[in-house]
Structure 1
């Protein structure tokens, strides 16, 4: 439930609930005081009697008494008519006013039999009081006001008609005390229920969120909060969960990054240590006079130069990968004709492979006008890295590298296949990871930093393509990567698909 709705419900409850409960309490207490103590049944309850003054009670009694008196003067025999008496009694507006008719010493008619039994024995006898001067009798202990009318029944029997009215000149002290206690209990109950409701709906969830945030502060990202609640509380829980999952993911990435950084330092130390050790060895040989002939001196110097080049190549690859991994190297994309571009690349790498006695085969099965969007320099690095990796792991006396360009409708697929020693199936999914080498001992005799293929994958993915490898041990490896074609529409709007 939303806070706004919760506040509206609280506002309405604070107003309506106490009013309803107070009304019920007032009715119950009034019923108890008027009916239990005064002998009135629930159906005869008249709440106006609880607040009227004595003058109003006398006036109400006089109205009924006047009717009886007029009838006695006109025709006293009708006062013996039960039907007439019943009609007159039922027509009284006040339910706490009723008629009693006595014949002789016995009860002839009672408009309220239960109440009449309480007061009948205390009513004055026929002719005991001067009715012409006496306005009525007030029974303080019973809170009853009575007016008497004497008459004779048709058979000559003495009769008396009494109009009895319950009296409450003001709200009684007991009612005030009881109502005060009732209102106090009602307000306490209302406050308790609202406090409990708000506590369950607001404070408890906030306390849970505080506990969860402390867990986050302590680095514990496993403390989950689940809820089906709606409104702001539900949103807070769900936002917390999103934040927790993101922080957990970032923490795992940071841990993995730290692990990779430690591995990076270890790999760099290992890869740099080998050429540095060789350089030191050859320099010491020169200093000790081992290279005592011009031929040996020339060999030592060339070896030192080659090792220095290996170190420079490793540092350049690390610097390049760091830049491209952090998106600090800008791409210069151009429209490239596939046939022309890959033809030039093959011609360029072919000369170097020919010197190494490696056969290079090239075939292009795409249309002559096929165009892709690519960065020429970065794509050349992809081809060089793949071919360089193939050359390192050629183990045949006659090495062969095949480059094929295939047409796949809306894209082209480039395949670079060698006849090297191949890659084990268990290692195949990992070859594009940083610093991964299939030789667990990390023997650097073949050179390389272990990041060449990871650079290749990064460049291909930044071009919107994808790359994978297939291999069979002892037979060779084939690298496949796909680039999307560029299509120019007839209305000269250019799009890539």
Structure 2
């Protein structure tokens, strides 16, 4: 989820969730309090009406007693002279937060709450001022507000009398207070719930990935590049984790390559030291032989000089190979491509090789099965280097007195394929996948004895791949090794050299 969508979701959580929960809570509270009020006071109303007009509810609470007073005043006013009857009426009012007061003339002869009556009696209407159409009573706002209902009557001696039902407005129905408390508590609880949901959601979607990223950063800072993390690429934070993981993998690869490079360089230096030491020792020895007069005949002197020349040529070839390796390693290999006729080129090339191998008692078996007009676009010099490296590598490890190398050039669709098969000792299966790696040597002890930098096949692989071809090896221990590579043919109609 994008960060923009997360912010929108957070906004909806902050607004919609509280509204939903408040509506649910208030509805539940109202329904519960409606039932409680109806059961306690036998009043059919609703909580919203109580909260908006509590005086109406207080009026309903005393309506039954007041109606009885009205009927008594019309039919049996003498009952108001009976203290027991007044006590009965007052007891009915006590549970309804009200009390009774009776006035005869200007004196109060009965009060259900003398203390409260003393502070408010001067606010009562006179006889005849209270009209009968005021069913809800009158609200009197004094220091202690109250709701007053009045019924006038005449005593048996003709004296004017009034009976009052007084309801304390400050003492509302407990359910109203309870409703208010429950609503406030619900609001606080809803705010807490909303904040908790939002915090948990933010933690899981934002803070947790950031903490994971922080832990991975600390691990990387301590040198642990194996600490892997995952992220959702659909959001910014997750994408940051994905990018960090890609950076970690790339950095680990670079370090591994660097370590391998350092290891290869150490091996290269070791190999070069050995390869340089042998010709240098020979050159030094033969030169000292000339200086010391050991070569006391013309024939010996010529032999010593030829040996020095040969060893110097070996040194030159080794330096050239190292220089070429440096160019390969930096991808700055220079190529001069041209159209080469396969038949003519390989006939000349193999002829040169055959002369050198004949001296080493190695037989060449060469067959070219391609069309005489077949051409490839290649660098003639570098392609010759590939052939020399492959053949030279075979010669070095044939290990028998009468060696044989079979060279085949064949047509393979859009490519031509060349194979160099020798009858040497072969390569172990565990070593075969690595023969084209730089500096790789299957048998380190034997290779040190035979010399070489271990770059020949690696250079050949690089050159062939730069020509758009492919190179691989097939081998069986005890039977020999075959190196094969392909070159792409020129399309018909291309200009000829």
TM-score by length of 2: 0.71
Task: Give the 3-state SS of the residue equivalent to 2:482 in structure 1.
Answer: strand
Cα RMSD, aligned residues only: 4.7
Task: Provide the rounded CA distance (Å) in 2 between the counterparts of 1:142 and 1:31.
Answer: 31
State whether structure 2 residue 256 is matched by structure 1 residue 252.
Answer: yes
How big is each residue's C-alpha offset from its partner over 1:351-400, in whole Å with a ceiling of 9 and x where there is no partner?
A: 44455554433322122333333222221111122222333345555544
Structure 1 unmatched ranges of 5 or more: 58-93, 107-114, 152-159
Task: Provide the rounded CA distance (Å) in 1 between the counterparts of 2:457 and 2:416.
Answer: 20
State whether structure 2 residue 286 is matched by structure 1 residue 273.
Answer: no
Task: Provide the rounded CA distance (Å) in 2 between the counterparts of 1:329 and 1:24.
Answer: 78
Task: Provide the rounded CA distance (Å) in 2 between the counterparts of 1:461 and 1:416.
Answer: 18
How big is each residue's C-alpha offset from its partner over 1:214-242, in whole Å with a ceiling of 9 and x where there is no partner?
A: 21122211112235695233323322222
For these two proteins, the number of residue pairs brought into alignment is: 436
How big is each residue's C-alpha offset from its partner over 1:115-154, in whole Å with a ceiling of 9 and x where there is no partner?
A: 9883498456899996631264659999873545689xxx
Contact persistence 1:35–1:45 (CA under 8 A)? no
State whether structure 2 residue 147 is matched by structure 1 residue 145.
Answer: yes
> 2:130 corresponds to which residue?
134
Task: Give the 3-state SS of the residue equivalent to 1:470 in structure 2.
Answer: strand
Contact persistence 1:127–1:150 (CA under 8 A)? no
Q: Give 1:48 deviation, angstroms.
A: 4.7
> 1:84 corresponds to which residue?
none
How big is each residue's C-alpha offset from its partner over 1:158-203, in whole Å with a ceiling of 9 and x where there is no partner?
A: xx99999996899x99998987777566545544543343234322
Q: Give 1:272 deviation, angstroms.
A: 1.0
Q: Give 1:18 deviation, angstroms.
A: 4.8
State whether structure 2 residue 330 is matched by structure 1 residue 326.
Answer: yes
> 2:6 corresponds to which residue?
6
Structure 2 unmatched ranges of 5 or more: 73-78, 81-91, 106-124, 132-136, 154-161
How big is each residue's C-alpha offset from its partner over 1:268-299, in whole Å with a ceiling of 9 and x where there is no partner?
A: 11111111222222233333332222222222
State whether structure 2 residue 467 is matched by structure 1 residue 463.
Answer: yes
Say if 1:138 and 1:477 are closer, same or farther in 2 by CA, change over 3 A.
closer
How big is each residue's C-alpha offset from its partner over 1:218-267, in whole Å with a ceiling of 9 and x where there is no partner?
A: 22111122356952333233222222222222222221111111111111
Contact persistence 1:44–1:96 (CA under 8 A)? no
Task: Give the 3-state SS of the residue equivalent to 2:95 in structure 1.
Answer: helix
Say if 1:373 and 1:123 are closer, same or farther in 2 by CA, change over 3 A.
farther
> 1:368 corresponds to which residue?
372
How big is each residue's C-alpha offset from its partner over 1:304-323, in whole Å with a ceiling of 9 and x where there is no partner?
A: 22111111111111110221
Task: Provide the rounded CA distance (Å) in 1 between the counterparts of 2:263 and 2:405.
Answer: 36
Task: Provide the rounded CA distance (Å) in 1 between the counterparts of 2:252 and 2:41.
Answer: 75
Contact persistence 2:101–2:163 (CA under 8 A)? no
Task: Give the 3-state SS of the residue equivalent to 2:485 in structure 1.
Answer: strand
> 1:44 corresponds to which residue?
45
How big is each residue's C-alpha offset from its partner over 1:320-371, in whole Å with a ceiling of 9 and x where there is no partner?
A: 0221232101333333332232233233434444555544333221223333
Task: Provide the rounded CA distance (Å) in 2 between the counterparts of 1:385 and 1:357.
Answer: 18
> 2:391 corresponds to which residue?
387
Q: Give 1:46 deviation, angstroms.
A: 4.3
> 2:239 corresponds to which residue?
235
Contact persistence 1:399–1:418 (CA under 8 A)? yes
Contact persistence 2:425–2:478 (CA under 8 A)? yes
TM-score by length of 1: 0.71
